[in-house]
Amino acid sequence: MAKQIRCADCRFVQVDKSYSTKHWTAYECGNHDSDYYGCLLNITSNGDKQKEITWRGCEEGRMHNDSD
């Protein structure tokens, strides 16, 4: 079983400029292998914006220092 990597620690997180605003930065999953691909990672299930990435992550994630 692969280790689950938190989204906040994953190297595939990227800024989504199309959803970001002047006072809030949207972060999305950029990993094509993840079920979360394209999802905004700092939005609650109710649609509330959050400053930090709070999603739990997935087994397809990679740490920033992983070379694979």
pTM here is 0.84
Widest pairwise Cα distance in the chain: 41
Residue 59: the pLDDT is 85
Mean pLDDT of 25-31: 96
Q: Which of 51, 48, 56 is nearest to 29 (CA)?
A: 56
Q: Is the pLDDT of residue 26 over 70?
A: yes
pLDDT per position as a tens digit, 45-59: 999 999 999 898 888
Q: What is the rounded CA–CA span in Å between residue 45 and residue 64?
A: 26
